[in-house]
A and B are shown apart, each in its own frame.
Chain A
């Protein structure tokens, strides 16, 4: 079984069926580029993977574990969905950084919130231990536990700081850590968004047209960062209109049109010898756009 398995995703908005049975799989460490014209269902597919939309039909599994089954979707609680979601990260077309926080806080916030919850749970455990202990021991236990919690908190804070600094260095924005989003260029904002999406170490990082909202001269820096993330450990799905980028970075390419996978294969197969007429027409059109 592949690392990511998507089986027969279907999604309908009113009368409009956007996904008409999408199935594909992806191995760990692979980069998948999804191409296709606007309105074809690419973005909806990514949103389904990130649980921002719920497919009407289909199943999804990651690392051999069934994460989503449309037949059981009503039984999922909010907390379960939050936990499932963490397998995926998403970089939005419009960045969606939190404007009131610095670059650093944008990247650190989700980690901090998770750490706080962990700490709360740990404290509850410790309190239970304390309650179960005989009365004369309680005072001593309480004092000991205070130390444990303090150490734990310090450790968490250090880990979060290290990780955040590391991520900012990785996207080349270490010196911007105290800037606010509005002080950054679009390209820089998108790089912060990438660092933020990586902060919780998702199994699969998704990009929804990460350069479409950028001025042409800024797309390069973002694409370079995404390329730099490629490694045997990181699995990525990139919805993109940048054919050159798809070709150079992707291990596999999906061409989606009208809610179905029209063509799939290695970049060479899809770009150089497309089998489907629709793919040929689409590639022709995007070439014309480049040289127009």
Chain B
């Protein structure tokens, strides 16, 4: 029994790292994704294509590979020092998730009818006013379901961090199996399930909050 609590705490420590990666990724990738979305919709063609190629590369290669490149790349290519492991993981996650988010934003923004923009225009609104006062909330309402999918995937993707030996929950559990103790590995599912359960409730709440209007 004592072993159970001890392992629970150990896993919880790992889950703290998981949450850290999760939170930092969201904080930076959500706004960065919006910037990339605007880039990919830019009327300035070179910018548009640069962003599109970048998104293609990031979405077209495994996140695990990107983590390795961010961690080892600078040292191998330029002889620079290594980033702190968890920082490297977060950088890779932010870039990767910003690209996925940007496509979700783009889809959301482009799904808003031209008439909404024109209605704002003929009422003398500026572009910024139209975006923030008219379009944004409609976009948010539309992207909540795909966003919740992506965010839930992010929770589980954090387990990729162990490729560069970041002590997240799955890495810790896996280390127990090496010592011959298998159940902690399966026990980690409880942590994930609880966390994802909370997120699911949260997204359900947001969806309900936005149900007061229809687009």
A interface residues, Cβ below 8 angstroms from B = 50-52, 78, 82-83, 85-86, 88-90, 92, 94, 96-101, 109-110, 113-114, 180-182, 196-197, 199-200
Least CB distance from A118 to B in Å reads 12
Partner of B137 from A100, A113, A182 at Cβ < 8 Å: A100
The answer to whether A78 and B126 have CB atoms under 8 Å apart is: yes
- Of A89, A100, A110, the most chain B CB neighbours within 10 A belong to A100
Tell me which residues across on chain B come within 8 A of A96, comparing CB atoms: 113, 115-116, 118-119
Is chain B's binding surface mostly helix, strand, loop or mixed? helix
Please tell me if B212 contacts chain A, counting CB pairs below 8 Å. Answer: yes
The answer to whether A52 and B115 have CB atoms under 8 Å apart is: no
The answer to whether A82 and B138 have CB atoms under 8 Å apart is: no
Tell me which residues across on chain B come within 8 A of A83, comparing CB atoms: 124
Q: How far apart sit A90 and B122, CA to CA, in the bound complex (Å)?
A: 7
Q: A86-B124, A100-B213, A180-B212 are in contact. Are A109 and B119 (CB under 8 A)?
A: no
Least CB distance from B108 to A in Å reads 14
Least CB distance from B166 to A in Å reads 42
10 A-B pairs in the complex with CB atoms less than 8 angstroms apart: A78-B126, A78-B127, A85-B124, A86-B124, A96-B119, A99-B214, A110-B125, A180-B212, A182-B213, A199-B123
- Of B119, B141, B212, the most chain A CB neighbours within 10 A belong to B119
The answer to whether A114 and B124 have CB atoms under 8 Å apart is: yes
Least CB distance from A65 to B in Å reads 17
Partner of A88 from B115, B122, B133 at Cβ < 8 Å: B122
Tell me which residues across on chain A come within 8 A of B121, comparing CB atoms: 50-52, 85
Please tell me if B134 contacts chain A, counting CB pairs below 8 Å. Answer: yes
The answer to whether A94 and B115 have CB atoms under 8 Å apart is: yes
Tell me which residues across on chain B come within 8 A of A181, comparing CB atoms: 213
The answer to whether A200 and B124 have CB atoms under 8 Å apart is: yes
Which 4 A/B pairs are nearest by Cβ-Cβ distance? A110-B123, A96-B115, A96-B119, A182-B214
The answer to whether A109 and B123 have CB atoms under 8 Å apart is: yes
Least CB distance from B210 to A in Å reads 8
Least CB distance from A89 to B in Å reads 7
The answer to whether B122 and A98 have CB atoms under 8 Å apart is: no
Partner of A92 from B119, B129, B141, B214 at Cβ < 8 Å: B119
Please tell me if B77 contacts chain A, counting CB pairs below 8 Å. Answer: no
The answer to whether A50 and B123 have CB atoms under 8 Å apart is: no
Tell me which residues across on chain B come within 8 A of A199, comparing CB atoms: 123
Q: How far apart sit A94 and B115, CA to CA, in the bound complex (Å)?
A: 8
Tell me which residues across on chain B come within 8 A of A100, comparing CB atoms: 137-138, 141, 213, 215
Q: A50-B122, A109-B133, A113-B125 are in contact. Are A92 and B115 (CB under 8 A)?
A: yes
Q: Specify the chain B residue showing the minimal Cβ separation from A93.
A: B115
Q: How far apart sit A82 and B130, CA to CA, in the bound complex (Å)?
A: 12
The answer to whether B213 and A52 have CB atoms under 8 Å apart is: no
The answer to whether B126 and A82 have CB atoms under 8 Å apart is: yes
The answer to whether B124 and A89 have CB atoms under 8 Å apart is: no
Tell me which residues across on chain B come within 8 A of A99, comparing CB atoms: 138, 213-215
The answer to whether A85 and B214 have CB atoms under 8 Å apart is: no
The answer to whether A89 and B122 have CB atoms under 8 Å apart is: yes
B window 80-137: CB within 8 A of A: 113, 115-116, 118-119, 121-127, 129, 133-134, 137
Tell me which residues across on chain B come within 8 A of A88, comparing CB atoms: 122
Q: Specify the chain A residue showing the minimal Cβ separation from B215.
A: A99
